Structure 1
Amino acid sequence: MCSIPLLTGWYSQKKTQNVLATYEQVVEQTTGDEIEQLRNQADEYNKKLWAESKGVREQSEPDQMEEYEGLLNVEKIQTGMMCVLEIPSIDLRLPVYHGTSEAVLNEGVGHLMDSSLPIGGENTHCVMTGHRGLASARLFTRLDELKEGDEFFLEVLGEKLAYKVEGINVILPEEVESLEIRPGEDLVSLVTCTPYGINTHRLVITGKRVVYEEKKEEKIKKKRPSVREMIFTMIPILFLVYVVIERIKRKREKRNCEGKRKRNRNQKRKCKHYRRKKRKRKKSRRQKRKMQKTAKWENQMRNSSSFDMFSGGSSKEPGVCRNRNRNYRNLY
């Protein structure tokens, strides 16, 4: 059971890599005219959003939903992926999908429908959301490690857009004022739940568009995982090691018990044999002493001049001879 988070995390990472590789291949195979058409459609959507609401709309109609899902969808396999989010400092590269349904957020990052599409430009504010603390994937788990001045990137239709973090805020779920479009600015906000494991508020990290420099991106150093991240990563590993050690101990104890039982059986057998031999030795010693005693009496009887075997004694000492004769008979 303890290896499940490791296996699911590895599987999710491999699956994400395959999705990103497929997206890049499809973009490369797409003609320039098709990419330009998709870009123009997304730009018109952003302008319409700015003109109508000047921010985030509260509700969307079904026809708007259908139109929205067709924008920036260059893939023919209908996965709903629109771009790639990359945050080098925390070693994160995830696909961005249309909408914020639970199925989408379990696979990657979701784009808030009523916010600007991630193609950049003035009067745009793209909002992306993601989960934290999932056992099956990292997603936005390390998003709180970002600091002001850090950069993240969007890969859209073969173009790379750079954004520099300028604001980090913690808000309530109903507070959407910070997600509204700011006139003349090109913004992207990354939103996730906070505090970790409690999820009563929302962490909003807002980045402002800057000029993309490839050399600058290569110089970005990856941050070391936080203590929390290391603890949550090590817990299943330590638990797995503990289970393996316990199993080895149990096997050894079982072997030792079986060995002790065998030794005890052998000892019992040896003890029985020893006691049997001891009894035999005692019996043989008693018999030997009895035989020696008998032989001694026989010698005494033979050597005695006052003993008469048939009459029971001599005429001089009838009592003594009679007693000796009786003792001699008792020996047999």
Structure 2
Amino acid sequence: MKPAALLLVLTGILLLLYPHVNEWMADSRQAQLLEQWETAEAAQVETRAGRDYKELEHVFQQAEKEQAFNSAPEHPPESKGETDPIGLLRIPAINVELPVAKGASASILDVAAGHLAGTAALGAEGNSAVAAHRSHTYGRMFNRLDEVETGDLIEVETGTGTHSYTVFQTTVVDPSDTSVLRQDTNGEDVITLITCTPMKNPVNRLIVQGKIES
């Protein structure tokens, strides 16, 4: 084939391929941007949740001091709107029924379990983290959370209905270990319950996790 004819053929092929190549490049860039956004969003979620989680160190230590000296809480109560319940948490195996409020400040945890900012909404896909105190009074708050076993039921009642989780893991972690807040749950609905342990000198975190069985 003559060079001129070959050039015409190649030019024609390139013209035919150009829209497909251009589309492929656009799709690749779009996928890259989506991944970049999702990674950044996940990082922001982890940061917000981690901040609330680390703040629990101060909240739990302060509560331990107040209980040890049998003193009243030093922090003012939240306003009514800030402590409005967003759900109800039940653990039948240990006779727990607690309102859940948004946030995990000291004043919220005085009266309810707290949903950590940056984690999935109660009953939603992802990892929803809820913290509560272990009161020295038997049967109050998460006092008996260490008695929960694999297979036990956790129920969360929200405005969208009642969500039932089955406990699949209980563990004790260091307060700096935020891996329990990870949102990459492979499309599963997970709830993570957090409290301090041991009861006196609570230097670690007791973690109980459940998931909705499909």
State the Cα deviation string for residues 28-81 of structure 1 (Å, max 9, x = none): xxxxxxxxxxxxxxxxxxxx9887116843248xxxxxxxxxxxxxxxx62431
Q: Pick the aligned partner of 1:103 from 102, 107, 126.
A: 107
- Cα separation, 1, equivalents of 2:154 and 2:48: 29
Please tell me the residue identity of whatever aligns with 1:83.
Answer: G
In structure 1, the residue matched to 2:196 is 193
Q: For residues 103 and 112 of structure 1, do their structure 2 counterparts lie closer, same or farther at Cα, with a shift above 3 Å needed?
A: same
> Taking structure 2 as the reference length, what is the TM-score of the superposition?
0.62
> Shift of residue 108 of structure 1?
1.1
Q: For residues 82 and 49 of structure 1, do their structure 2 counterparts lie closer, same or farther at Cα, with a shift above 3 Å needed?
A: farther
Give matches, 1:1-332, under 5 Å: 52-53=41-42, 56-59=45-48, 78=81, 79-121=83-125, 124-135=126-137, 138-157=140-159, 159-181=161-183, 182-210=185-213
- Cα separation, 2, equivalents of 1:209 and 1:145: 20
State the number of aligned residues.
146
Please tell me the residue identity of whatever aligns with 1:130.
Answer: A
Question: Is this contact kept in 1: 2:180–2:192, CA < 8 A?
Answer: no
Q: For residues 150 and 104 of structure 1, do their structure 2 counterparts lie closer, same or farther at Cα, with a shift above 3 Å needed?
A: same
Q: For residues 195 and 136 of structure 1, do their structure 2 counterparts lie closer, same or farther at Cα, with a shift above 3 Å needed?
A: closer
Question: Is this contact kept in 2: 1:151–1:164, CA < 8 A?
Answer: yes
Question: Is this contact kept in 1: 2:136–2:199, CA < 8 A?
Answer: no
Q: Which has the higher contact order (CA 8 A, sep 6+)?
A: 2
- Cα separation, 1, equivalents of 2:207 and 2:92: 18
State the Cα deviation string for residues 252-275 of structure 1 (Å, max 9, x = none): xxxxxxxxxxxxxxxxxxxxxxxx
Match of 1:210, SS? coil
Question: Is this contact kept in 1: 2:98–2:113, CA < 8 A?
Answer: yes
Q: Which has the larger share of helix?
A: 1
- Cα separation, 2, equivalents of 1:49 and 1:126: 18
Question: Is this contact kept in 2: 1:191–1:205, CA < 8 A?
Answer: yes
Match of 2:110, SS? helix
- Cα separation, 2, equivalents of 1:84 and 1:50: 32
Q: For residues 152 and 171 of structure 1, do their structure 2 counterparts lie closer, same or farther at Cα, with a shift above 3 Å needed?
A: same
- Cα separation, 1, equivalents of 2:143 and 2:176: 22
> Shift of residue 119 of structure 1?
2.7
Match of 1:103, SS? helix
- Cα separation, 1, equivalents of 2:122 and 2:172: 23
Match of 1:57, SS? helix
Q: For residues 54 and 130 of structure 1, do their structure 2 counterparts lie closer, same or farther at Cα, with a shift above 3 Å needed?
A: same
- Cα separation, 2, equivalents of 1:126 and 1:133: 22
- Cα separation, 2, equivalents of 1:171 and 1:91: 25
- Cα separation, 2, equivalents of 1:157 and 1:114: 19
Show structure 1 runs of 5+ residues with no match: 1-47, 61-76, 212-332
Match of 1:127, SS? strand
Match of 1:89, SS? helix
Match of 2:212, SS? strand
> Shift of residue 135 of structure 1?
4.6
> Taking structure 1 as the reference length, what is the TM-score of the superposition?
0.41
Which one has a bigger Cα radius of gyration? 1
Show structure 2 runs of 5+ residues with no match: 1-36, 50-79
Q: CA RMSD in A?
A: 2.4
Q: Which has the larger share of strand?
A: 2
State the Cα deviation string for residues 271-315 of structure 1 (Å, max 9, x = none): xxxxxxxxxxxxxxxxxxxxxxxxxxxxxxxxxxxxxxxxxxxxx
Q: For residues 105 and 136 of structure 1, do their structure 2 counterparts lie closer, same or farther at Cα, with a shift above 3 Å needed?
A: farther
> Shift of residue 114 of structure 1?
1.4
